Structure 1
Amino acid sequence: MPRPSIKHERREDILKAYERCIALYGLEGATQKRIAEEAGIARPLLRHHVGNNEELLREVVKRYTDRCRTSMQELAAYPFSGEDELLALLFLDNSDMTSPTDTMIATNLIVIAQTHDYTKELMTSWFDDVQLSFEKVLSALYQNAKKDMISIIASGLIGIYFNHDALFPIKKNDKDFQQRSYQAAKQLLLSLQTQGEV
């Protein structure tokens, strides 16, 4: 009886290794040598299991954007009891929302998207999903707010969240930083509260 193929498992190991290398060394520093070492395999097996550099990059972009899309769909579907629960998730306990590795991958993919059309297309679609997810959450919390205001406040909230997320690896023990991010976002949301009262 033939042995079951381990190609899928190897492929996953390689792609995870590539993601870790991107987070540690950036896209240019994520060489095949480093990826192979991180995955614990011989370098020629990279091409056998995944492909060339372009195929590796495309797979990682797709993995990252698929992972984020799922996270955003979960956020949009979550029945938040109020703004404090949403803000606590985003700024006080964001361990479930993202990871330092994902933050570094996103940063590198945004840079490469300027010159790489496939990455630009998927990253643009990813960001559109983020915007729509935040708008859905805010629309559920502030049902009397106007749609254009929801969109504007969602964009501001995303900006604060991304800044907080990008700095989190070096500021994770800085409770003042987390609290300031939380309060800045809360101030934005106040405009939606008052709009509903008019």
Structure 2
Amino acid sequence: MARPSVAEERRQQIIDAAIRTIGTHGITGATLDRIAEEAGMSRGHVRHFVGNRDELLVETARRFYFDGPDEDSILPSGTNSVAGAIDFLFGDEFTEPGNANAVVFGLIEASRTNPAIAQILVRAYSGVETKLGELIAEEHPAVSDLERKQAAYAIVSMALHNVFMNDIEQSDDRTDAARDAALALWGALARSSEGA
């Protein structure tokens, strides 16, 4: 296997530093100087390898949300059931407050003024709805398109609300209740399709 180029290694080093800096200092505190310091490079090197701050933030968002260029969802690759998607969306990796959530909130703030970041976030989160809809259709083909879209939207909304609240006040009980609500919605939809 070919070794990545030095330029690509430096770009990844800078993007990793940007993610850590946003997680620590927020989006407004993620200056090129702070990111350069975190990366152990000069500001000039950062600009050489990734361009200006806006270009760096766009590439940071892309790599934060997607491992590969063909991905369209934040669900882990290999998620092949509605239950698996719910397990992820209400599991520790997704719901734990911390630096990853701080990065998400920072990128949401940046998306208000940077359309390229907004497109990445829309792709990431609407991709979850699309993937959930596909999984629902595979598991229960009798579910109507409207019901499938509504259920996918509701499950993603519950998951994001739970993450938002957990970042303010962590509560395993709230997460359990949100997960139970998502499973109840899924169960009711599955039962109604079986009776159709």
Looking at structure 2, the residues matched to 26 and 78 of structure 1 have their Cα atoms a distance apart, in angstroms, of 31
Query: Is 1:184 matched up with 2:185?
Result: no
Alignment-derived partner of residue 144 in structure 2? 146
- Give, in angstroms, the shift of residue 193 of structure 1: 2.3
Helix, strand or coil at the partner of 1:127: helix
Alignment-derived partner of residue 73 in structure 2? 72
Q: How does 1:150-189 map to 2 (within 5 A)?
A: 150-168=148-166, 174-189=171-186
Compare 68-77 and 135-144 and name the one that shifted more: 68-77
Q: Deviation per CA, 1:80-117: give whole Å up to 9, x if none.
A: 3x73x5433332x3427998444332222222222222
Q: Deviation per CA, 1:30-61: give whole Å up to 9, x if none.
A: 01221122112223221122121122122112
Alignment-derived partner of residue 89 in structure 1? 88
Note if contact 1:131-1:158 (Cα within 8 Å) is conserved in structure 2.
yes
Q: Deviation per CA, 1:122-164: give whole Å up to 9, x if none.
A: 3223333222111112222323211110100100000111122
Note if contact 2:95-2:166 (Cα within 8 Å) is conserved in structure 1.
no
Alignment-derived partner of residue 104 in structure 2? 106
Q: Equivalent pairs: percent with the same residue?
A: 23
Alignment-derived partner of residue 126 in structure 1? 124
Alignment-derived partner of residue 23 in structure 1? 23
- Extract unaligned runs of 5+ from structure 1: none
Choose between structure 1 and 2: higher helix proportion. Answer: 1
Alpha-carbon spacing, 1:142–1:104, altered in 2? closer, same or farther (3 Å): farther
Structure 1 counterpart of 2:143, which letter?
A
TM-score, normalising length: structure 1? 0.79
Note if contact 1:134-1:154 (Cα within 8 Å) is conserved in structure 2.
yes
Looking at structure 1, the residues matched to 180 and 75 of structure 2 have their Cα atoms a distance apart, in angstroms, of 24
Note if contact 1:114-1:120 (Cα within 8 Å) is conserved in structure 2.
yes
Note if contact 1:164-1:181 (Cα within 8 Å) is conserved in structure 2.
yes
RMSD of Structure 2 on Structure 1 (CA): 3.0
Compare 66-75 and 113-122 and name the one that shifted more: 66-75
* Aligned structure 1 segments of 4 or more residues deviating by more than 6 angstroms: 96-99
Looking at structure 1, the residues matched to 77 and 46 of structure 2 have their Cα atoms a distance apart, in angstroms, of 37
- Give, in angstroms, the shift of residue 187 of structure 1: 2.4
Alignment-derived partner of residue 48 in structure 1? 48
TM-score, normalising length: structure 2? 0.80
Query: Is 1:116 matched up with 2:117?
Result: no
Note if contact 1:76-1:133 (Cα within 8 Å) is conserved in structure 2.
no
Alpha-carbon spacing, 1:162–1:44, altered in 2? closer, same or farther (3 Å): same
Alignment-derived partner of residue 194 in structure 1? 191
